[in-house]
Structure 1
Amino acid sequence: MAITKDNTEYFEKLNIKLKQQFCINFDDTGYTKEEWISRFGDLTLDDAVSEYGRKYDLTTIADLFK
């Protein structure tokens, strides 16, 4: 399935994943929908969130409590 900026379901799920892993939402990423799709659109949702975290050296919530 191709992801577009109008794919509301994808971006809702993305917000949930970002919140669960890094306690941020999509707006906090600083990306527009088009930029996100261009950078991470070829990855699964989980891989995209993980890659975003690696790119910006973010600590996951789970790692905070180790």
Structure 2
Amino acid sequence: MSTQEGGISGNPGGGAASRKAELATFLSTCFIIIPGLAVAFVGAFGFVIWISQMIFGPPGPPAQ
């Protein structure tokens, strides 16, 4: 089997449609999913810090 038939991924008969689908998947992963996950992780971390400060008090030297 040559790379012309199946491509590197081994998708036999894959043509322009599979290339477009792969490009759409790549672009949506790069510009929608990964940034969305980054925002979600930062937001979740901030929420955890906020809740912990409500329970344990703000950081800093102890009040006298």
Same fold by TM-score greater than 0.5: no
- If asked which structure has higher relative contact order (CA below 8 Å, sep 6+), I would say 1
TM-score, normalization by structure 1 = 0.31
Of Structure 1 and Structure 2, the greater helix share is in 2
TM-score, normalization by structure 2 = 0.32
